Homo-oligomer: A and B are copies of this chain.
Amino acid sequence: MTLQSVADEVGVSRMTVSNAFSRPDQLSKELRERILATAETLGYSGPDPAARALARGRTGAVGLLLNGPLSEAFEDDVSAEFVAAVADELTRRGLALTVLTPPQGDRFLPARDVAVDGALVYTCDPTSAGVAWLSRRKLPVVAVDQDLGREVTTIGVDDLSGARAGARHLLELGHRRIGVLALTEQFAHDPPNRDRLLGWRRALGEHGLEPVVARTTLLPRSAAFAAATDLLESSDVTAVLCFDDVFARAVIAAATALGRSVPGDLSVVGYDDSRAATVGVPALTTVRQDVTAKGHLAAGAIADLLDGRAARSHVLPTELVVRDSTGPVPAP
């Protein structure tokens, strides 16, 4: 079943059938309906997407390049919300989302071998093979929470200000011995981790203070609990600033296990204002970012690029949300 079979049946040229499907305004309504009806009868389900992709030079799919185990990307509320927002917005613009997983061998490298018109780079080591392949293919790319150079359209978040706001909030409450729970050194150059750490450091620095830094990983989830326990046992911090809300929950759990109450004995600040911030008790003081907006902007940017329009970089604002996990510094 091809365009040609339908054309033969109707008695028009293949091109007219193509137009019936792809450019409705190029032929009479009447003829178009006759063609569509015949196609239906013949069981022709429309132009073959692969052939169309080759002829048009566009596949209609946008890649989402992710590094590390996918479980990290999909099992984290924040990433999942981002992916959902991206997929929704891409669909609205007539594009599909293809997941470009990290390669698991040598034969098949998604970033090299999968047909996409462009890609979103998210949660990636900028030096990864995937990023390199995308640029070798000269595909349009939009970086999200990532530094790929000034020429690359980038959608980011003002984590520097967000982190600073969180730290200042603690300082205003009188805290002076403050811990932070960040990602491991492996993420030293990951913008969110880097900027949050920097924002905390700067705010504390304004008071001549230095944070007690603890580091951990997103997975396994138990790692954060262990790191938090260690931080609380090995130092006398009265407050902890966390890389994200999940870490904040881990700190609260660790504090509780050590018999310390939050916010009575310890103040905890999360980040993201994800589901974890409001689902548990106490509700978290956290720094809100609009992940859905980030996804929409990223999808819009890559779509613009594909349409030959310029795409602007954006830095999304953050906002401190004060809830119940922070309070005045405890009396000595």
Please give, as numbers and ranges, the residues of chain B lying within 8 Å of A148 by CB-CB distance.
none
**Is A99 positioned at the interface, with any CB of B under 8 Å from its CB?**
yes
CB distance from A40 to the nearest CB of B (A): 9
User: A113-138 CB contact bits vs B (8 Å, 1 = yes)?
Assistant: 11110000000000000000100110
Please give, as numbers and ranges, the residues of chain B lying within 8 Å of A90 by CB-CB distance.
101
Q: A45 CA to B132 CA in the complex, in Å?
A: 11
Contact B100 A99 (CB under 8 A): no
**Is A188 positioned at the interface, with any CB of B under 8 Å from its CB?**
no
Partner of A74, one of B57, B81, B94, B102: B81
Among A84-128, those with CB < 8 Å from B are 84, 87-88, 90-92, 94, 96-105, 107-108, 110, 112-116
Contact B73 A84 (CB under 8 A): yes
> Quick one: given A91-B101, A92-B104, A96-B98, are A46 and B81 in contact (CB under 8 Å)?
no
Please give, as numbers and ranges, the residues of chain B lying within 8 Å of A74 by CB-CB distance.
74, 80-81, 83-84, 87
**Is A43 positioned at the interface, with any CB of B under 8 Å from its CB?**
yes
Partner of A70, one of B43, B59, B84, B275: B84
**Is A308 positioned at the interface, with any CB of B under 8 Å from its CB?**
no
**Is A77 positioned at the interface, with any CB of B under 8 Å from its CB?**
yes
How often does this chain occur in the complex, in copies? Answer: 2
The residue in A77, A96, A280 that gathers the most chain B C-beta atoms within 10 A of its C-beta is A96
Contact B81 A71 (CB under 8 A): yes
Can you spell out 19 A-B residue pairs with CB atoms less than 8 angstroms apart?
A: A45-B112, A48-B115, A49-B114, A49-B116, A50-B115, A53-B53, A60-B108, A60-B113, A61-B98, A61-B115, A87-B99, A88-B101, A88-B104, A90-B101, A91-B101, A91-B102, A94-B108, A97-B99, A97-B101
A positions within 8 Å CB-CB of B? 43, 45-46, 48-51, 53-54, 57, 59-61, 69-71, 73-75, 77, 80-81, 83-84, 87-88, 90-92, 94, 96-105, 107-108, 110, 112-116, 133, 136-137, 249, 275, 279-280
